[in-house]
Chains A and B, each alone.
Chain A
Amino acid sequence: MSDAVLTRDAAEAGDAARRRGSLGLKLQQQAGILGALALFIVLYLFYQANHPRGFTGQILIQNANEAFALALIAMAQTVPVLMAGLDLSVGAVMTLSGCIASHLVNGTPSEIALGIATCIGVSASCGFINGCVVVYGRIQPIIATLATSAIYMGFALILRPTPGGKVHEDLSWALTNDVREFALTFGLFENGEAAWLQPFAWVPVPLVLLGLIVVLIWVPFTRTVTGRTVYAIGSSEGAAYMSGLPINRAKLAAFTMAGLFAGLGGLFLALQTSSGNADIPQAGAYTLNSIAAVVIGGTSLLGGTGSAIGSVIGALVLRTISFNFRIFDIAPLLQPLFEGLVLLAAVSLGGLKLLRLKNKLEVFR
């Protein structure tokens, strides 16, 4: 657009003025995530403050391990939700990945690497198949993935008719501990005693992995045309088509990403439990919780707005709620009741803002 440039001064002056406005705007646009973050911080501080043993690294590691799979499956769910779809197969893909891991992630380093690659490849393929059914079969995502989840679950059952299997013990130990143990296990960084490592030595490995996945996969994805198109489809598919955006590619990518994230979650679950288990109720619970986490994390089920980062926070919120149960000695029998009530309360609070809507038509989007 060389023929229509502003004078540089004018552009820069405008820039500065706008940037000041932009920060406020950014915060406003991220209100959902920030709300979830605040909720998580409050809940987690409350949990730590009331923990009988006080704050220890061990508790943090345990919490991180328990939250990791849900956080990933919530990320997985986010991508289809952003384009106003739903992936009901994330739990099944996760389970399938875990069952594969319980067979293959063992033995020599190269065997392990191959096993991990297989898990990731298979789960991404499962996601890709979902995408194909949705794009080329033109079936509603929610129902297409309902069907494929049965199929993937079937394969998981073939692989693991009963719980069992084994994963490499060192790897399992290293990935479910803090950074120092990780380094010690593999003899890295002077067995974890390197001075520069010490400030981070206490950080649980799952948190590091989570951070890496967000920074290396999610953030770049949102900066590609394909990633932006996922948002565009959720916002208005017709407009995205008119704008010449790659709709089919974005849909395929979205489901593939969902499969990939779910597979990574399943892989970790297998490492954490050192086994594979084709547990249908568990897979269903993970799928449903992933939707809850996505919503709590500020992503709209109608598509177009939100972020996988918010969903991770949503997953942390859900997990922290159950952590709190443990220390308050609430009868375990009551736990589902409270979990449900908290979920209802959280989503209903959002409903209260309707009372402030002055134009009732805004209720219907």
Chain B
Amino acid sequence: MTEPEPFFVLENVSKRYGGVHALQDVNFACARGSIHAVLGENGAGKSTLMKIMAGVVQPDVGRMMLEGSPVAFPNPAAANRAGIVCIFQELSLMPELTVADNITLSNPPYRFGLIDGRAQRRRSEELLARVGCEDINPSSRVADLPLSRRQMVEIAKALGRNPDLLILDEATSALTAKDVDRVYRLLFDLKARNLSILYISHRMHEIEALADRCSVFRNGRHVETFTKGARSRDEIIGLMIGREIEGQFPPKPSRPRPAPLIEIRDLAWENRLTGVTLEAGRGEIVGLGGLDGQGQKELLLALFGVLRGVSGKVMVEGNVVAPSSPNAAKNGRARLALVPEDRKSEGLILSMSISDNLSMASLGRLSWGPFINAGRARAAVERAIEQLRIKIGDPSDPVSTLSGGNQQKVVIAKWLATNPDVILLNDPTRGIDVGTKQEIYRLMRELAEAGACILFYSTDYEELIGCCDRVAVMYDGRIVRELAGDAINEHNLIASALNIVEQREPTHV
């Protein structure tokens, strides 16, 4: 095995946040002309590694070498100047500014000492064309673009800085299949141009498709680096969680389809939902499949009373319900719960304590009139922590101190405290480590067994296949196909997601 010439090297780097070792004595190197995948559970230290390399945080100990000479980056701008550019998971775009401003602002073209708007647009167009997004107008505001387009703008912006080392942190999490394909081609192209590329992803098939080398991190330590193909998928997962994994998904019970608890008839909203009809009963996990952005989120929001102007009928046990707000939805004839898309801005109140967050949705049940019953609230919090095995120090710590997986558990626990009949899950495992994912799958099944009805939207086909009793595949605001039993397989999911029965599958799968 030939060791490639290292381009950027980290030697004995450590970083602590308070008492927590985010990175401990890490040695890491990446080379030019290669795509290097970095794997690990959440909290394994990947993000900290990236942030150190990109100059967002500084290491406590250790040094960094760029092409043999030591470097230090006090801020992201310094790293950029050295040719290290990072595409972060949380978008680093400024929503109210135009696409052109976002792409070129850190190093704009000048004319007579002032920014040259036309040259700015032209350069943005070139860069957008390079990532295959000629359809994006550089004069539009980023806020007016859908999430998947924003992510592409982010990539174009990174390219505009002429990186030598490009770091992608979960950069494809919000992309459509078509864009993922473009990004792949772009990355291979960049690799051919002798760039060094670091790629962080939770999606195993992406790593298999892209990476030349893989490094696994666990608990802030660099566990192992190996070339592609040297390890099997199961071995990699074993390295990541430090133990062998047994069956990832809990077994599905086989029994006749239950009577519907919730019936959705011809639900329509704006042009995002057109005639959605679906039923789900107690004990069922019904998946919502399809490509990202085909109306799945809107369907969940519509059921939860967030959308205005929804037409069609929703019936619970035969009675029409039309919640006008989340408050009405959670207190209605059937109690609804929604685990929203973005846990950081929608699911949690990050700066408030774990216990406050856990009781946030069920305050009404923990109170005597307007007054909160402190004892009952404390008991409920303890119960929730125990039930979901949330790893915490002190319930009065801010919820922001928890890892991503545990944060998501808090979101779920907060809703379980309301004893919901219908649980709406909007991609609950996105960006979450393998171990927690498994716990969430198991929990979903337990809840279903206990009589809950679960609507589960996921962008991950494996999850849908492994967890759901039925899957309704959505395309352009309607349900194009309902799969059940053995028909829930990757081929069917993808074929119906693209709403074409006989055409080539997307190349990246």
Contact = CB atoms under 8 A, between A and B. Distances in A.
Interface stretch (B19-27, B90-98, B174-182): B90-98
Interface string A36-72: 0000000000000000000000000000000000000
Given A235-B94, A238-B92, A361 B306 contact: yes
B443 interface: no
A4 B76 contact: no
Interface in A21-41: 21-22, 25-26, 29
B141 A29 contact: yes
A359 interface: yes
Interface stretch (B40-48, B119-127, B201-209, B365-373): B119-127
A18 B96 contact: no
B499 interface: no
B94 to A, nearest CB: 4
B333 to A, nearest CB: 21
Q: Interface residue tally of chain A, by bracket?
A: 35 or more
Interface string B220-260: 00000000000000000000000000000000000000000
Contact of A21 (B88, B94, B137, B306): B137
Given A11-B125, A25-B137, A220-B114, A228 B307 contact: no
B355 to A, nearest CB: 24
Interface stretch (B100-108, B430-438, B444-452): B100-108
A5 B108 CA distance: 17
B398 interface: no
A228 B160 contact: no
A359 B76 contact: no
A33 to B, nearest CB: 15
A53 to B, nearest CB: 44
Contacts of B102: 243
A242 B122 contact: no
Contact of A359 (B114, B130, B134, B306): B306
A358 B335 CA distance: 23
Interface in A144-186: none
A309 to B, nearest CB: 16
B80 interface: yes
Contacts of B127: 1, 4
B105 A228 contact: yes
Interface in A342-363: 357-361
B105 A232 contact: yes
Interface string B49-73: 0000000100000000000000000
Contact of B301 (A15, A228, A240, A361): A361
Nearest to A242: B92
A257 to B, nearest CB: 16
B75 A223 contact: no
Interface in B148-164: 157, 160, 162
A225 B92 contact: no
B97 A360 contact: no
B365 to A, nearest CB: 24
B8 interface: no
A200 interface: no
B77 interface: yes
Interface of A: 1, 3-6, 11, 14-15, 18, 21-22, 25-26, 29, 220, 223-225, 228-229, 231-232, 234-236, 238-245, 303-305, 357-361
- Going nearest first, the 10 A-B pairs with the smallest beta carbon separation are A304-B96, A244-B77, A242-B92, A235-B94, A235-B96, A223-B114, A239-B92, A232-B94, A4-B130, A223-B115
12 contacts: A6-B129, A11-B125, A15-B122, A220-B114, A223-B114, A228-B108, A231-B96, A244-B77, A358-B269, A358-B308, A359-B307, A361-B306
Interface of B: 56, 75-77, 80, 88, 90-97, 101-102, 105-106, 108, 114-115, 117, 122-123, 125-127, 129-130, 134, 137-141, 157, 160, 162, 193, 269-270, 301, 306-309, 325, 346
